[in-house]
Structure 1
Amino acid sequence: MLTYELTSRDLAEVRFAVSPVAEMVLSLRALREPGRFPLQLGWIRAVQPRVAELDWDVLRWLVNDTMGSPDFLTPRPTSPLTQLADELQVIANVDRETFERQVVAVNGELPPDLTIDKVIEALHQYWDAMMAPYWDRMRTLLSADISYRGHVLTQHGTGAMLNGLAPAITYADGLLKVDRVAAVSRTEAVDGRGLVLQPSLFGPHAVIPFDPGADPILGYPPRGQANLWSVVEPPSQQDLAQLIGTPRAHILELLTHPRTTTDLAGELKVTPSAVSQHLQLLRRTGLVEPQRTGKQVLYRPTELAALLTGAELA
């Protein structure tokens, strides 16, 4: 068990983040022991044809028999919008002493030919083959969970939000207890360092740092995983038109790349004001989002719209 001691200041500074690189590294657990990850069997089956192509001479050192990984591989994310390239750069810059110490702590030995460069190369290959084709779907679920937790926090307070994260996670009287995560129990004070909560698809109970005293971070299982890998055919254009209306369905169909209201109006042969009304409704329902470029406002579909239509985001 890990117990985090939280002051009132610490509680006020709890924040959420998503880590692409953590999901990638932790997903090695599911490939290693699929039986422990029944909710991710859809992903495990889908990626099986690519498993043999990966650099297991390197990857096998990134997770041990008890599902531990070196902490330098999962740098603490700072935002729900964390980018993979930024995290890989942090890993690439880890100092040799930390690299060697943490690999030995997790595996009990340091293979003589293992280097940071080889780890980065193996992770790039792993991401392209195993994660990239599914990341939009994963990230949408993770982001939706953060939105839900934020609503609980706002409506019911930090304590209620923490107690609702997972059965293995409980909070009372300034103590956040995380069960089923470590053979040796330890207690650590957050002490103003900030606690980051990170939804993770590959931590059935919870995920904590391997090293005692590491920056406070807690991975927890997000809601909605049971249906994440359900195979559902995207709706036809006719079905989508019945759902949201023909003009708005046509607008989503045209947004294969960011476009202005005037551009869309010309394509649809209607007035810009008519298109603007449809775009505002699509925006309020979370299907499009604006982005300003100079004096122009461009509209693009959101991840929710991509899931609805089966399209790829531009």
Structure 2
Amino acid sequence: MESAARIDHVLTYELTSKDLEEVRFALSPAAETVLSLRALRDPGRFPLQLPWVRAVQSLLEGPDWEVLGQLVNATMGSPDFLTPRPMSPLTQFADELEIIGRVDQETFERQLEAVNGESTTLTPGRVVEALGDYWQTVMAPYWNRMRTILTADITYRGHILTQQGTGAMLNELGPAISYSQGVLKVEKVSEISRSERINGRGLVLQPTLFGPHAVIPYDPGADPFLGYPPRGQANLWTVVAPPTPQDLAQLIGTARARVLRLLTHPRTTTDIAAELQVTPSAVSQHLQLLRRTGLVEPQRAGKQVLYRTTELAQLLTGN
């Protein structure tokens, strides 16, 4: 991946009307993990994330920096295989780590050499282990708060897309990003200017806390992807700590608090009932009230209806 930098070069994506219909949003814990290494390498470029940088300083002795130091270069570039293109806002870090571990050796060596300017002695297994340790130590304790900002931004962009259209939504992604008549331009990227056609491959948009202006694929011709800065970052680290389970139970009731606590991932009414050892009808009543108060939302998957927490509920529970 490349992030917007000081060099005034431009990536241009050409989109047909069909391409515009296929634009989608996604989240990537793996991408945020890899991109966060940039903030640790050059904190001055990430002023909004300085509270996080300060907070994790005492945690940095554990991860394998001999490996991690080779995953981002001085111009903030990183190999694309480390950031598999996400296709959903519900992407899980473990799933992405598995994909990273399956990278073929030729791609692994070629991309690392392109980023670092020299051959590597690393192996995919060692990279996966280092990233897993880094995630658990440095990212996971803060991921719930980060994810809340990222998912809230996707919701906001979705409203603009629905009400004003794809073009208007693209033009609001950030000052380095502009769209007009089928042409999406990303300015000041640290790569030779290039123009690419989407050609039905789908454009994935991903809010990221660690790309101050924009993030694009490192390799020309890679699957179309654009990382952009989410709204609300200025308040990210000033949010008060989430309430305790006891506080939440007093607010919404013990039974409904237990339901929310179980929704760390989308689940069916029957699944929740089995977990709580109560009847599905009792769970259904709680879910309907939680839905009316904006704390859960349904999501159809085939013939099943899954329930997941909203951004508001995630703030309340820390999930």
| TM-score range for the pair, normalised by the shorter chain length | 0.7 to 0.9
Distance 1:254 1:72, change over 3 A: closer
Aligned equivalent of 1:65: 74
* Aligned position for 1:4: 13
Distance 1:97 1:83 in 2: 26
Q: Deviations over 1:164-221 (max 9, x none)?
A: 0001000001110001222421111111111110111100000000011111000001
In structure 2, give the amino acid aligned to 1:210: Y
Aligned position for 1:144: 152
- Asked whether 1:174 is paired with 2:178, we answer no
SS in 2 for 1:171: strand
1:159 counterpart letter in structure 2: G
Q: Distance between the aligned counterparts of 1:193 and 1:159, measured in 2?
A: 18
Distance 1:240 1:55, change over 3 A: closer
Q: Does 1:75 align with 2:84?
A: yes
The residue correspondences of 1:158-197 to structure 2 (distance < 5 A) are: 158-197=166-205
Q: Distance in 2 between matches of 1:176 and 1:58?
A: 35
- Mapping of 1:274-285 within 5 angstroms? 279-285=287-293
TM-score of the superposed pair, with normalisation by structure 1: 0.85
Alignment of 1:98-117 (within 5 A): 98-111=107-120, 113-117=121-125
User: 1:97 is matched with which residue: 98, 101, 106?
Assistant: 106
How far apart are 1:44 and its partner, in Å? 1.1
| Structure 1: distance between partners of 2:194 and 2:59 | 39
Tell me if structure 2 keeps the 8 A contact 1:3–1:186. Answer: yes
- Cα 1:154–1:60 change in 2 (3 A) is same
State yes or no: 1:248 paired with 2:252: yes
Summarize the Cα distance change of 1:123–1:65 in structure 2 as closer, same or farther, 3 Å threshold: same
Q: 1:72 to 1:58 in 2, by over 3 A?
A: same
Structure 2 gap segments, 5+ residues each: 1-9, 264-271
Q: Give per-residue Cα distances to partners, 1:273-299, cap 9 Å, x unaligned.
A: 8x866642322233246799xxxx998
Deviation (angstroms), 1:24: 0.4
Kindly provide the CA deviation profile for residues 257-312 of structure 1, in whole angstroms up to 9, marking residues without a partner as x.
47549x7999xxxxx88x866642322233246799xxxx998865632422xx45
> CA–CA distance in 2 between the matches of 1:238 and 1:71?
44
Q: Match of 2:163?
A: 155
Kindly, what percent of the aligned residue pairs are identical? 68
249 and 180 in structure 1: CA distance in 2 versus 1, 3 angstrom threshold: farther
Change (3 A) 1:97 1:237: closer
Partner of 2:3: none
Supply the distance in 1 between the matched residues of 2:242 and 2:227 (Cα, whole angstroms).
31
SS of the equivalent of 1:82 reads: coil
Length-normalised TM-score, structure 2 = 0.83
1:47 matched to 2:28:
no
Tell me the alpha carbon deviations over residues 15-67 of structure 1, each in whole angstroms, 9 at most, x when there is no partner. Answer: 11111100000000000011111111121111110112221110011000000
8 Å CA contact 1:237, 1:249 repeated in 2: no
1:269 corresponds in structure 2 to none
**Backbone CA RMSD of aligned residues:** 3.0
Which structure has the greater CA radius of gyration? 1
Give the secondary-structure state (helix, strand or coil) at the position aligned to 1:141.
Answer: helix
Q: After superposition, give the CA deviation of every residue in 1:111-159 in whole Å (9 maximum; x if it has no partner).
A: 3x31111100100100100111111111121111111111100100000
**Ranges in structure 1 where 5+ consecutive residues have no aligned partner:** 267-271
Which whole-Å CA distance do the structure 1 matches of 2:307 and 2:83 have between them?
Answer: 34
